[in-house]
Structure 1
């Protein structure tokens, strides 16, 4: 039985089905929404118009899953877990009827829920989250029907900056309210400042240190402005990009273990700790950070799909493990690419690591080759050993995916000297003689030596 029909849940169901046919293993999946196996990460690009149709974000429909022998039940919300009895209580969201269904093996893939602070007016018409395809459709419909062209985005993380771009491209005047020092708190503030400068250059108004206190409404009850820091910011539509938290309410009520971030705790086989018959994956779990050695909460589709592959193999009697992550992520706002992997400075301090940091400027191609774009690479290395701890990159075309070099190096536990010595591909249309990541690695290696 699978609870949750998106990335982790349906990847697990599909992998289990590959290993065992319908005569050997019955698979039932409950999904409270109307879609399965879709890309929530693609919603900002659908809103922006890069993706022209909603269905292009759906990797596999419920009908396609059913054709492969997976009993998908939509608009079915699991509202109770009886772990000792091996059953779940399911509510039909169309009729309201509830019933119990038994299982032998349970997969929890309940995902995450958007953070929605308990503020006056937060539920007013015109305020939108963007977690599901239904959310995306509701936002697009609202944008098409809005009487004005002013948008306020609350939060400047990945979703916030991506939605700011989408709204800008739809012709809206965009204000981003962020309580942080700089946009993109997954970066260090000095790198976040580069993102802010680029957003300002695009015409997006970014207000830092802005704690939202109220969503103001007009006589018709619809949103008219957002109050923050003693100021009012006019809005015809508001998009919440504050972030998400693991949806583990049912699991916690059933006594399953959760960590510091509220996510379920699993072993390497993605089995929930203490329960041999229950697995969990995707945005509802915490994962091992291979750099710090601690559990972290990193809700990304890449991890969810890998979790599902491991869970499906194990639940069908095979074998698989998920070793952990290094925290790699990329995003963009218009032509600016933003990437990070590993630890930020404050992450390193929190786990007691001594470190050096360097920042290096370079270009995406040989400087003399047409189309060369500037990029900035920040690198963090352990002070004594020179072990790479983290990398952040901000630049134009060709910047974002360079973070994969650092992600591989982090996974392998390489030093910055070793990164600088890597035999990377070179030709003027693709890179300078020294790749920008290696320029930063050489500078970091020198800083390690200077620090003694």
Structure 2
């Protein structure tokens, strides 16, 4: 019996996890695996790019989990610099173009995995394509930015950087540019930085960034990128002011890259991501799966589909897809929206719903905010953190939690992530048996202190 063929579009986390997992289940005689990647790199950590640029990670290769040669040695025909131009689901084939030679060809498939990731948001403003304006979506982007930073010369003279956007990538890149000796301005069109937090928690991030020497300008809608006589960026303009810049980094966010999928008539959701069932199979298509940043996933708290582009999800999607294609079984039940970040020594974390998410979902809720410390107050180097919790009015069900603090703050969010997944109430949370010793926590962990206050808020609200 001839081997079936699995074609994978995309050579990063979801795509190559799916290919590798399928290979564990099926030999090359049983399943031929062909993967197409349009870039120069495969299986790398995009999340690590700001830390490579900032110097905390010693070199680009540290971010590469597995090289193309290693994938090929494991029986996966990974074709680099090859872009898929068209998906023909009715005839079971894809049209590809070799980006070096320009050669095009059709490749048939019995099973297809779409792992095309996400594309950076680049608003159509004048000058955004000028030299010196950089995104940081992939390793090629990171290398291009480092080349620009090196060309601007060593620290010592006045060098100015503008970061457009104050989400995870924006604040992480602000830190990276500080490490390179730049004066950094962050332009944020929102009310406060970190729109993944409620504004009152984002305000804490703003204050801390100011203290780190980062200038953050809120409600700043970029209208143009100004260039000099040499065509390179020289400033970023908003409706209210102009900010000088030797380099500009875009951290505006990403959108699902589903251009091919939509052209092939595959279903997409409210955020433009592909829609799948629990097995990560594209809805209505028996032989097509999708995973990673190009899909929407179920939010277990709100019950709605959301687009949450994170490498943790992408790797899980790939494992499940590969198992299902290879003859095993797996499902992806959904997410609660957990994410952590940092800028210098400031740690930022969230899980579950923000206030506006709860309102959009039609939920009535109460909130509670507390200040506590990372260690027992008498233990050296205890740092202050702020914890905010959302609970459903009436039932007391945990809806979300946010943390802003220093060392020891961010990973506490994992307790709430587990509680959300389990559908716990804040009252039940107060009795969680968490580890305690003065170097690690106060007697009452900050998350439990917030839960206790939330219980009182639920009771008071009736």
**Post-superposition offset of 1:310:** 0.4
Provide the C-alpha distance between the structure 1 equivalents of 2:49 and 2:342, rounded to a whole number of angstroms. 14
Match of 1:83 in 2: 89
Report whether the alignment pairs 1:26 with 2:26: no
Q: Once the 2 structures are TM-superposed, how far is the Cα of residue 149 of structure 1 from its aligned partner?
A: 1.2
Name the counterpart of 2:241: 231
- Among residues 351, 364, 388, which one is paired with 1:378 in the alignment? 388
Aligned match of 2:426 in 413, 416, 425? 416
Helix, strand or coil at the partner of 1:261: coil
Match of 2:308 among 298, 307, 324: 298
Partner of 2:262: 252
Q: CA deviation at 1:21?
A: 1.3
2:41 equivalent to 1:35: yes
Residue 146 of structure 1 deviates from its aligned partner by: 1.5
Q: Which of the numbers 390, 395, 403 marks the counterpart of 2:413?
A: 403
Residue 131 (1) aligns with residue 137 (2): yes
Deviation at 1:194, TM superposition (A): 0.3
Counterpart Cα distance in 1 of 2:141 and 2:311 = 18
Which residue does the alignment assign to 1:393?
403
For 1:326-337, list aligned pairs within 5 A: 326-337=336-347
Structure 2 distance, partners of 1:61, 1:315, is 23
Instruction: Work out whether 1:7 is the aligned partner of 2:13.
Output: yes
For 1:104 and 1:318, the matched residues in 2 are separated by: 17
Equivalent in 173, 178, 201 of residue 183 of structure 2: 173
Q: Which runs of 4+ in 1 moved over 4 A?
A: none
Cα distance in 1 between the residues matched to 2:15 and 2:259: 17
Aligned to 2:3: none
RMSD: 0.6
Counterpart-to-counterpart distance in 2, 1:337 and 1:76: 39
User: How many residues end up aligned between the 2 structures?
Assistant: 452
Deviation string for 1:22-54 (max 9, x for gaps)?
A: 111110000000111000000000000000110
State whether structure 2 residue 362 is matched by structure 1 residue 356: no
C-alpha deviation, 1:230, in angstroms: 2.7
Q: Which residue of 2 aligns with 1:66?
A: 72
CA distance in 1, matches of 2:301, 2:416: 12
Alpha-carbon separation, structure 2, partners of 1:143 and 1:420: 49
SS in 1 for 2:148: helix
The CA distance in 1 between the partners of 2:394 and 2:268, in whole Å, is 35
TM-score (norm 2): 0.97
Report the 3-state secondary structure (helix = DSSP H, G, I; strand = E; otherwise coil) of the residue aligned with 2:419: helix
Q: Deviations over 1:221-278 (max 9, x none)?
A: 0000000123110000000000000000000000000000000000000000000000
Once residues 272 and 330 of structure 1 are traced to their aligned partners in structure 2, the CA distance between those partners, rounded to angstroms, is 29
Q: What is the CA–CA distance in structure 2 between the aligned matches of 1:219 and 1:129, rounded to whole Å?
A: 23
Instruction: Tell me the alpha carbon deviations over residues 341-400 of structure 1, each in whole angstroms, 9 at most, x when there is no partner.
Output: 000000000011000001000000000001100000000000110000000000000000
Q: Mean alpha-carbon deviation: is it higher for 422-431 or for 142-151?
A: 142-151
The aligned runs of 1:172-211 (5 Å cut-off) are 172-211=182-221
Aligned counterpart for 1:55 among listed residues 41, 54, 61: 61
Please give the alpha-carbon distance, in whole angstroms, between the structure 1 residues aligned to 2:60 and 2:348: 26
Gaps of 5+ in 2: 1-6
* Mapped pair 1:16 → 2:26: no
Distance 1:142 1:315 in 2: 43
Distance 2:179 2:373 in 1: 27
Following TM superposition, by how much is the alpha carbon of 1:55 offset from its aligned partner in structure 2, in angstroms?
0.3
The match for 1:45 is: 51
CA distance in 1, matches of 2:40, 2:277: 31
Where in structure 1 are there 5+ consecutive unaligned residues?
none
* Deviation string, structure 1 residues 91-110 (Cα, Å, up to 9, x no partner): 00001111100000000000
CA distance in 2, matches of 1:187, 1:348: 13
SS of residue matched to 1:26: strand
Secondary structure of the structure 2 residue equivalent to 1:270: coil
TM-score (normalizing by structure 1) = 1.00
SS in 1 for 2:31: coil
Aligned partners of 1:26, 1:326: CA distance in 2, in Å? 36
The offset of 1:169, in angstroms, is: 1.1
Distance 1:420 1:25 in 2: 51
